[in-house]
Structure 1
């Protein structure tokens, strides 16, 4: 997706003032081969949705049957990822809609993603200021987003400056996930579409099955190496004045017929990072995953290290049915599109924000929304050194205890009252030390959201017969609220 629409036709022309749900279309922001993004105004502002957003129109209701199938697949991939993954470095989707407008057949049936509004994209910044001074810090955030994506078991598949968005506060979001793919073991399957300058040699002429191209996380590692070289020097790492020439150079490099000649303007530490990312084979690149890469990049950029992501439970993989909620919603003419989750065990990815050795409480289910985190007990959330002020008037809806097993503290008990005091329904709960609930280490918990705890403490076990009695029950969060 390019950050500028000047001088090129829109993939999906939408008139200014057009209404989709509560959103009124304003000026175009960006356009690519398959979609166009417009600024939008919320005509029914409220607490749930922001006053402005970006609408991404994908023409899933028009075109030929073959094009329609392809575009629906792209839309399904992006909506599914954005529904399931909430992370600080990934663009957030507020809702997904389907246009119902037979009077405008070019728009009828289109999928519309309502996204966070960004101020611009990295490609626009690079056009205005090649090798910007903020480049290293931006690269650290981009790498953090890539690590969040890989940690959740997804491959981006099209990392490039046009798919890196810059927010009003200067932070970075990765975007455009219509070619993203979820790993099935060591591989994922992506549509046959990529940007050659950011594609590793083994995928420039890939084998294509009926499920698409087999890709691995190392494809994103290569793309990150190219992007880092472009951001820091304003040039591509492989020679050639055209995309085709650079692709040929990449193939010769992979065969050992050409050496990698990185810009001499790169500091030595960045030279080594980029050289590792641009290792000629998948096997060589596999030694540099985003976990280790992120720490190296943050050190090279001189920025504070990001929070460690929680260890996730092993997951059983199962292939989803081909008919998803998108297809059903389109056929039924539904407005709001929802998606079935493809794997149903292990913590949802929103919990990734919880730092290691901490317990975190969230304002939305599945670890989303506002978060408060502690490494120890807190007898009063609304006063003292660490506070969680949003709980003064909003309930807690989910919990994640990203604890350290070596401490021997296997659970966190939480209470409606300050100083670990039972209040209201806590008093009536049997066999629970009169606490509101308890969450075990590395366990997730969604709550009914009818109250806000005001204190918590770490305990040995979440046993039903007492806080320090080992429990044989499955790990869960206890919520007595109706």
Structure 2
């Protein structure tokens, strides 16, 4: 890669357990480097991030070369170190660290105070989203560190996000092949990622080819969430800039408040329409030889004085989809949300139907007299119905969508597949209590989904224990920092466990 990186980091530099390798990408707000675990000689095959265990410090401990000091006043502290494999589902990921990763370095305090405040805000946005959401089509974050190195003032205080390593981006793919034959399938995966984001109440804000990352197996994940924003009612507030060619026309002249630009999910729908046209035809849907000319055309189009000029190469089905995505106004685009768009895109691409995501609604506590009856009915369903899960392009089956809303679900296989047990209240004995989970008597739990929403009593996280009646057994007895429990999962988090634990009880708690 040519050009000077935004954050220069020498090859071989140590950050926590990681050793920096070559530069992968660099933009206005950070630089991404390849990294490997220190002491790992040469290139090796990836080890799945969801399986096995590793030796690691307890929560709050800090490895050499990094600190847990906060990136800025009022921000979420950068967490150095990692949790034991069975305990990490609720925060930065699950299972042991992979041998390879990508380190995203965000600039330091060598900037002006105003620049520094802005960069901290961008870092916080990305860290907040990635620490709260885990979905198959979003890039994973394993950890967040802060560099503590006064001898290198250009790096001292830098926030470093430890991310899943991608092999490239859709931008590099399109540079090599303007009409990739698997473009429609990739667009279906991009749309699935948007659906997962919007369903969780977030807007990406900067969807473009460079932010669609391609994994080793060729599948796509959404990345770079610096501009992402969480919805507050009908709007979210994002930084006052994005990539012009992919920006919805109403945002090109929008007013900017102290909180940023008001943005809605329909802005991502517009960006997807532009992206889809580019992937399928190699051209933009509005005329102009430069970005400025195309932005002017977008403004004229929104005001009714310019028409879309979709390529004649587009098949009818894709033409209809892109036309709807590029509707002139937010109100017209609002009729085509990411969920309905995903079904249409999958049909056009000829890919399998994605799993429905669970509905997110306020938790309700069931009356005691009804718990036994409803639990028994749920058990019958869970043990007799063959659920329709899906196979994604990575060969993984995802079945988390089976978990009822406002419940916690444990699965006998990774990624929410296999047999499932679900509860909406505490259970002191999985094998002989009012709700039973017989398969855990002779095999471990391998994945979990906490599908709870806000509870009137403030209980949203779930802690689980190897013993009955919420008691520690075996190795749990010595785990004082984990309150002698096997593990804990926060609201709306899902992921794989190490696959060696068979809990026998669980209870709802305020937080992990």
The two structures have a TM-score, normalised by structure 2, of: 0.67
Provide the C-alpha distance between the structure 2 equivalents of 1:283 and 1:53, rounded to a whole number of angstroms: 41
- Structure number with the bigger relative contact order (C-alpha 8 A, sep ≥ 6) is 2
Q: Which of 10, 18, 41 matches 2:13?
A: 18
Aligned to 1:87: 135
2:502 matched to 1:452? yes
CA-CA distance at 1:424 after TM superposition? 7.3
Partner in structure 2 of residue 333 of structure 1: none
Gaps of 5+ in 2: 41-52, 55-95, 364-397, 423-437, 453-463, 472-490
Partner of 2:239: 191
Is 2:349 the partner of 1:304? no
Residue 398 of structure 2 is aligned to residue 371 of structure 1: no
Give SS of 1:41's match: strand
Which of 386, 401, 405 aligns to 1:355? It is: 401
RMSD: 3.5
Q: Deviations over 1:76-127 (max 9, x none)?
A: 0000000000000000000000011111111110000000000110000000
Distance across 2 between alignment mates of 1:248 and 1:136: 29
Give aligned pairs, total. 373
CA distance in 2, matches of 1:371, 1:124: 33
CA distance in 1, matches of 2:11, 2:494: 43
Q: CA deviation at 1:62?
A: 2.5
d(CA) in 1 for partners of 2:334, 2:15: 44
Aligned equivalents of 1:59, 1:274: Cα separation in 2: 37
Where 1:241 maps in the other structure, the secondary structure is coil
Hey, what does 1:53 align to over in structure 2? 101
Q: Write the mapping of 1:402-413 to structure 2, written as runs, cut at 5 A.
A: none
Deviations 1:314-342 (A, max 9, x none): 49xxxxxxxxxxxxxxxxxxxxxxxxxxx
Q: Distance in 1 between matches of 2:191 and 2:493?
A: 26
| SS in structure 2 at match of 1:355 | helix
Structure 1 gaps of 5+ residues are 1-5, 316-351, 378-387, 403-414, 417-422, 429-441, 457-475
User: Does 2:129 correspond to 1:134?
Assistant: no
Note the alpha carbon deviations across 1:17-57, whole angstroms, 9 max, x for none. Answer: 00100100000001111110000011167732111100000
**In structure 2, C-alpha distance between the alignment counterparts of 1:155 and 1:391, rounded to whole Å:** 42
1:171-210 → structure 2 map (5 Å cutoff): 171-210=219-258
Q: Where does 1:75-474 land on structure 2 (aligned, <5 Å)?
A: 75-314=123-362, 354-356=400-402, 360-361=409-410, 370-374=415-419, 395=445, 398-400=448-450, 425=468, 451-452=501-502
Partner secondary structure for residue 213 of structure 1: strand
CA contact (8 A) 1:82 1:92 kept: yes
Paired residues of 2:400 and 2:415 also in contact (CA < 8 A): no
Rounded to whole Å, the distance in 1 between the matches of 2:496 and 2:126 is 28
Contact map agreement 1:361 1:372 (CA 8 A) in 2: no
Distance 1:448 1:227, change over 3 A: closer
Equivalent position SS for 1:238: coil
Q: CA deviation at 1:209?
A: 0.4
Q: Secondary structure at the match of 1:232?
A: helix
Determine the C-alpha separation between the residues in 2 that align with 1:447 and 1:121.
26
In the alignment, the residues of structure 1 paired with residue 184 and residue 283 of structure 2 have an alpha-carbon distance, to the nearest angstrom, of: 15
1:79 and 1:357 mapped to 2: Cα distance?
26
Map Cα deviations across residues 254-303 of structure 1 (whole Å, 9 max, x no partner): 01001111000000000000000000100000000001000000000000
